């Protein structure tokens, strides 16, 4: 019998007001969440902050709509004045109303599902929402909440403390070169925009997506390149010859290559040194994102022009805040210019999120050590089970050698395992007692049907499933993030559901 207690639909994971995940315990719940079924959504009080607007933001928005006489409007509370400018420009409609109060910025528009969809997608893609702690602090200041939820916060210079823990992953760099963002996607967005501006001045506007990337990184490349023809997808991360042909075909016009190392969700690690050499040969810039295993596990800056990554994973291991990081390789051309440009573009962390991160980041190495001790055991169990079709992880034979070339230690494999089943997905998922929800790199083990949550539009159609299959992706792929619980308990729980 599993030691894990099944969590009801909508329960925050962890049990915190600021949790970044929530329980979706059945495939019916997963589909209901994606299809906005009221029977499911009524239970969802929180979730991943870029996808599910926090109830504290809803409450604060209602108060501001009342105060500013904006009945019949939708108000989006954003992370800064600059973000408000960007959202207003993106919507580009005359009815947009700017709402500004001390330390608070928002954009309102007349109630419209079309405008709301565009606004939410934009803020989701680039990480522009006000944080839940910022909303909570504002509600407390206004007397609408008695006090903030108690939690351990760093008492001192939180930014210096976070940078102190990050510096060993980037030896030789001054602390001020570690640029913190409010989430990983904002880190990617800031790096992309800074490089795009720099390269466009040289007539370079083509961007290459290498492999299947996280959905919002794909969205940034598809939506914000200058023309549709400036977005190029090279699907096979191992095909250096194919990448070189693409670079040659667009010679003199490629601005950059964006790659995850490893990729999400197939955990494929390309030949990073080989890609870097091709980028240099053709004058393209290379942006690498090591979020899947973390910058603590992988040494990728020597190969990249810019590292843009999430700190929500592993460093914020309690699972109650989002954060991101951008680091510029000091050896890259125009490094100082890029650093200045990105620092202006990035959305900073709210002060209390930063103070919370400064507490959690000190646990990173202990958390990683426990995860690394368990992952190979869970992989061995899954690979040997007759109900499991295929298992992917950092040391999968297809890219083991590539991974180990950039790993800081041979056991530094990160938390993620993805796998497919020989039988149907629904019965297994519904039986499984592990916590089920989005995100990864938490102390809590998490599993989710990743393609359903990230690409439901593709999973739900024959054409979409064919598109996924062309990139080697099974619609029913499961993404497991191993936490710090005993490996025996994780394995026993998986075995119970696979029986």
Q: What is the CATH number of the domain that holds 267?
A: 3.40.640.10
Query: Is residue 460 pLDDT above 70, yes or no?
Result: yes
Residue at which a domain ends, from 320, 349, 378: 349
468 part of a folded domain: yes
Residue at which a domain ends, from 300, 327, 349: 349
Same domain, 333 and 195: yes
How does pLDDT run across 102-133, given as a tens digit for each residue? 999 999 999 999 999 999 999 999 999 999 99
pLDDT level of residue 1 (50, 70, 90 thresholds): low
Inter-residue contact 21 to 440 (CB < 8 Å): no
Rounded mean pLDDT, 396-401: 98
Domain count, the chain: 3
Same domain, 401 and 489: yes
Same domain, 305 and 375: no
Q: How many CA atoms lie less than 13 Å away from 385 in the CB half-sphere? A: 24
How does pLDDT run across 289-312, given as a tens digit for each residue? 999 999 999 999 999 999 999 999
How far apart CA 480 and CA 477 sit, in angstroms, is 10
Domain coverage including residue 448 = 12-37+363-498
238 part of a folded domain: yes
Tokens of 472: 């080697």
Same domain, 289 and 203: yes
How far apart CA 39 and CA 37 sit, in angstroms, is 5
Same domain, 30 and 65: no
How does pLDDT run across 230-274, given as a tens digit for each residue? 999 999 999 999 999 999 999 999 999 999 999 999 999 999 999
196 part of a folded domain: yes
If residue 255 lies in a helix (H) or strand (E), which one and from where to where? strand 254-260
Inter-residue contact 350 to 134 (CB < 8 Å): yes
Residue at which a domain ends, from 97, 113, 130: 130
Average pLDDT of the chain, as a whole number: 96
233 part of a folded domain: yes
Same domain, 101 and 193: no
Q: Which of 105, 172, 182 is nearest to 356 (CA)?
A: 182
Same domain, 397 and 329: no
**pLDDT value for 82:** 97
How does pLDDT run across 11-52, given as a tens digit for each residue? 999 999 999 999 999 999 999 999 999 999 999 988 888 888
Q: Which of 267, 287, 217, 288 is nearest to 50 (CA)?
A: 217
Inter-residue contact 276 to 304 (CB < 8 Å): yes
43 part of a folded domain: no
Same domain, 316 and 190: yes
Rounded mean pLDDT, 376-403: 98
Q: What is the CATH number of the domain that holds 395?
A: 3.90.1150.10
Same domain, 221 and 370: no
Query: Is residue 2 pLDDT above 80, yes or no?
Result: no
Sequence length of the chain is: 499
Q: What is the CATH number of the domain that holds 93?
A: 3.30.70
Phi (first) and psi of residue 197, to 5 degrees: -65, -45
Residue 324 CB partners (closer than 8 Å, separation 6+): 127, 180, 181, 182, 183, 184, 185, 186, 187, 188, 308, 309, 310, 311, 312
Same domain, 259 and 307: yes
141 part of a folded domain: no
Which one is predicted more confidently, 322 or 95?
322
Same domain, 232 and 340: yes
Q: What is the pTM of this model?
A: 0.96
Rounded mean pLDDT, 163-191: 97
**pLDDT value for 286:** 98
**pLDDT value for 100:** 96
**pLDDT value for 96:** 94
143 part of a folded domain: no
Inter-residue contact 263 to 211 (CB < 8 Å): yes
Q: What is the percent of the chain with per-residue pLDDT over 90, rounded to a whole number? A: 96
Same domain, 332 and 371: no
73 part of a folded domain: yes
Phi (first) and psi of residue 323, to 5 degrees: -160, 160
Rounded mean pLDDT, 187-207: 98
């Amino acid at each position: 019998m599993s030691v894990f207690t099944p969590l009801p639909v909508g329960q925050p994971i962890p049990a915190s007001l600021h949790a970044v995940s929530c329980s979706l315990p059945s495939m019916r719940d997963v589909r209901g969440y994606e299809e906005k079924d009221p029977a499911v959504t009524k239970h969802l009080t929180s979730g991943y902050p870029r996808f599910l607007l926090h109830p504290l933001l809803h409450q604060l928005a209602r108060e501001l709509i009342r105060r500013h006489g904006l009945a019949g409007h939708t108000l989006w509370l954003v992370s800064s004045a600059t973000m408000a400018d960007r959202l207003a420009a993106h919507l580009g409609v005359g009815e947009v109303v700017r709402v500004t109060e001390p330390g608070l910025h928002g954009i309102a528009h007349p109630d419209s599902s079309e405008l709301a969809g565009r606004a939410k997608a934009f803020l989701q893609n680039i990480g522009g929402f006000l944080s839940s702690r910022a909303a909570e602090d504002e509600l407390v200041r206004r007397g609408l909440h008695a006090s903030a939820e108690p939690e351990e916060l760093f008492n001192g210079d939180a930014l210096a403390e976070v940078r102190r823990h990050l510096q060993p992953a980037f030896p030789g760099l001054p602390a001020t070169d570690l640029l913190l963002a409010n989430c990983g996607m904002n880190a990617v967005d800031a790096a992309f925009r800074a490089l795009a501006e720099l390269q466009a001045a040289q007539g370079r506007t083509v961007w290459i997506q290498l492999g299947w990337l996280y959905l919002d990184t794909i969205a940034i490349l598809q939506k914000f390149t200058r023309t549709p023809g400036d977005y190029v997808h090279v699907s096979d991360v191992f095909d250096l010859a194919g990448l070189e042909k693409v670079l040659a075909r667009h010679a003199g016009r490629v601005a950059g290559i964006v790659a995850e190392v490893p990729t999400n969700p197939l955990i494929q690690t390309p030949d990073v040194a080989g890609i870097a050499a091709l980028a240099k040969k053709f004058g393209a810039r290379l942006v690498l994102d090591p979020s899947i295993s973390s910058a603590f596990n992988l040494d990728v800056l020597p190969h990249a022009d810019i590292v843009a990554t999430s700190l929500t994973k592993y460093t914020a291991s309690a699972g109650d805040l989002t954060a991101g990081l951008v680091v510029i390789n000091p050896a890259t051309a125009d490094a100082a210019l890029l650093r200045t440009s990105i620092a202006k573009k990035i959305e900073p962390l709210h002060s209390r999120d930063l103070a919370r991160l400064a507490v959690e980041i000190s646990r990173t190495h202990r958390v990683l050590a426990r995860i690394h001790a368990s992952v190979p055991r869970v992989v061995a169990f899954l690979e040997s089970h007759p109900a499991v079709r295929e298992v992917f992880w950092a040391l999968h034979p297809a890219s083991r050698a590539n991974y180990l070339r950039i790993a800081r230690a041979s056991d530094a494999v990160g938390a993620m395992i993805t796998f497919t089943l020989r039988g149907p997905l629904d019965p297994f998922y519904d039986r499984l007692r592990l916590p089920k929800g989005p995100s990864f790199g938490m102390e809590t083990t998490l599993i989710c049907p990743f393609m359903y949550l990230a690409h439901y539009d593709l999973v739900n159609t024959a054409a979409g499933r064919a598109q996924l299959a062309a990139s080697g992706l099974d619609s029913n792929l499961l993404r497991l993030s191993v936490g710090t619980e005993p490996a025996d308990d994780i394995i026993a729980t998986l075995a119970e559901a696979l029986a």
